[in-house]
Amino acid sequence: MTEQITYRRSISDIGQVKILGTYIKTERLNQNKTQQALADAAGLDRTTIINLESGKSGTLLSFIQALRALDRLEILSIFESKTQISPLLLAEREFRYKTRKRARSPQRASKSTAQNSTQKQQHNRKSTW
- The structural domains of the chain, ordered by start, are 27-78 (1.10.260.40)
Confidence of residue 34 (pLDDT cuts 50, 70, 90): very high
Q: What is the pLDDT of residues 66-94, one digit of tens each?
A: 999 999 999 988 888 877 778 787 788 78
Contact 65, 43 (CB under 8 A): yes
Q: What is the pLDDT of residues 97-114, one digit of tens each?
A: 776 556 666 665 555 555
Q: Decide which of 50 and 103 is more confident.
A: 50
For residue 121, give Cα distances in angstroms to 3, 86, 104, 108, 124: 83, 52, 24, 20, 5
pTM: 0.58
- Nearest residue to 63 via CA among 81, 74, 47, 48: 48
Contact 25, 34 (CB under 8 A): no
Count other Cβ atoms within 10 Å, centred on residue 12: 8
Q: Decide which of 109 and 13 is more confident.
A: 13
- The yes-or-no verdict on residue 40 having pLDDT over 90 is yes
